[in-house]
């Protein structure tokens, strides 16, 4: 840990835990201590750790072919694209390495698609994005991320982006016109505190995009591929995008992202307009196919829905006992618990870690839970019991401090 602190760029404020292995829903540190992982590598390890189906295909494919470049065909891209397009209702796929790369590709698709539709009219190049959003850390993704703390250190960013108040239909209508080539949004804002889009807002976005021939782009990098209890979060709303981006759980821990889109949109790209060296390699794609097969075989999307409902019930019960919990937001196993203080949230995450449970804090005062899909009720009960104890302890300390402060104030 000292060597990493001395030699790596200081981009993360890491927990002082050196992880060595994982099994099921648990990870183990170098001393052998066990942690119940309700963050799963920020939504990546959806099958937990050491799943035999994933281990088997990794071992087999790593001996056959790890990388081949996209100048050649290999056995798995076609099958993976077929599965993903069938599940999403899209027609074509592009594979890359990560969520932010997928979002960059989606933005380029929108600009390219707008050019094909000009026919002498004024160019459409503006992009509407959402306040409080997060799409990644590359420049186009940052430009469409609606949080100043991520954007400001790197200004100026890509021009032509305007932010809409999330779920504000009037603001959306006011800012949408024929100069817009795309509107991009997260169906569930993950880093933004697990905030769900309203159906009316989503329907209005779909209607305006159709009216002005703009693309509706959904970022399902965190919410996609079963986490919310459906394969894609937009399927809860019955409203489809023109482009959808996915990544985190797709290759069960290996880097792999994808852009899925309609046939008409895909025709705006031609060879040379976009590409990737590593994206969609045979190892990652073979593992992704095994991941999707496992979801189906073990009915894990339905299980995520069921466990999400159980977790919601327990958290809402906890909310009745603790004033510090101001809101509980749940869609499947994408869960946010808002507290009345950022400092309290920071302390709770630390103390849950001390008790052997991994969660994290997002949007300053929101506890984020992104557990593996394979959790059971016993795991939920353990987390709730420990969270109950931590909150009770902290509320007691806060009361003690407040009483002490009041006593000192009276004495002075």
List residues with catalytic annotation. Answer: 134, 219, 248
Q: How far apart are the first and last CA of the chain?
A: 47
Cβ count near 105 (within 10 Å):
25
- CA 167 – CA 237 distance, rounded (Å): 14
SS3 89: coil
Phi, psi angles (nearest 5°) of residue 394: -70, -40
For 88, 117, 337, 362, 392, the CA distances from 318, given in Å and listed in that order, are 36, 53, 10, 20, 10
- CA 265 – CA 113 distance, rounded (Å): 6
**C-alpha count within 13 angstroms, C-beta hemisphere, residue 172:** 23
- CA 353 – CA 142 distance, rounded (Å): 30
CB 335 within 8 A of CB 315: yes
Measured CA angle at 345 (ends 339, 351), to 5 deg:
130
SS3 126: strand
Residue 156, preceding peptide bond in cis (omega within 30° of 0): yes
């Amino acid at each position: 840990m000292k060597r990493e602190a001395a030699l790596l760029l200081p981009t993360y404020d890491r927990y002082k835990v050196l992880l060595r292995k994982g099994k099921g829903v648990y990870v183990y540190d170098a001393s052998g201590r066990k942690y119940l992982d309700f963050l799963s590598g920020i939504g990546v390890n959806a099958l937990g750790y050491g799943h035999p189906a994933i281990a088997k295909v990794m071992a087999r494919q790593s001996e056959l072919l790890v990388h081949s470049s996209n100048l050649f065909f290999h056995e798995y891209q076609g099958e993976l694209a077929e599965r993903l397009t069938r599940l999403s209702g899209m027609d074509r796929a592009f594979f890359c390495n990560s969520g932010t790369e997928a979002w960059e590709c989606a933005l380029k698709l929108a600009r390219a698609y707008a050019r094909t539709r000009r026919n002498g009219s004024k160019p459409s190049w503006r992009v509407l994005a959402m306040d409080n959003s997060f799409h990644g850390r590359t420049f186009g993704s940052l430009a469409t991320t609606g949080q100043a703390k991520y954007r400001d250190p790197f200004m100026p960013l890509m021009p032509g982006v305007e932010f809409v108040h999330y779920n504000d239909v009037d603001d959306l209508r006011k800012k949408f016109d024929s100069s817009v080539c795309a509107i991009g949004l997260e169906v569930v804002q993950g880093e933004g505190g697990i905030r769900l889009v309203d159906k009316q807002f989503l329907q209005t976005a779909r209607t305006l995009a159709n009216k002005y021939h703009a693309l509706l782009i959904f970022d399902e990098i965190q919410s996609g591929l079963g986490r919310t209890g459906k394969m894609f979060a937009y399927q809860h709303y019955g409203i489809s995008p023109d482009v959808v981006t996915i990544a985190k759980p797709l290759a069960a821990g290996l880097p792999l992202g994808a852009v899925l889109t309609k046939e008409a949109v895909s025709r705006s790209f031609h060879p040379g307009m976009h590409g990737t060296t590593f994206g969609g390699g045979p190892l990652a794609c073979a593992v992704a196919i095994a991941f999707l097969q496992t979801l189906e075989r073990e009915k894990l999307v339905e299980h995520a829905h069921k466990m999400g409902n159980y977790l919601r019930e327990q958290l809402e019960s906890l909310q009745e006992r603790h004033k510090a919990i101001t809101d509980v937001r749940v869609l499947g196993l994408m869960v946010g618990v808002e507290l009345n203080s950022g400092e309290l949230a920071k302390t709770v995450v630390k103390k849950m870690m001390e008790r052997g449970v991994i969660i994290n804090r997002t949007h300053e005062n929101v506890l984020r839970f992104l557990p593996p899909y394979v959790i059971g009720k016993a795991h939920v009960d353990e987390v709730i019991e420990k969270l109950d104890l931590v909150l009770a302890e902290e509320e007691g300390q806060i009361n003690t401090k407040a009483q002490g402060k009041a006593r000192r104030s009276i004495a002075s």
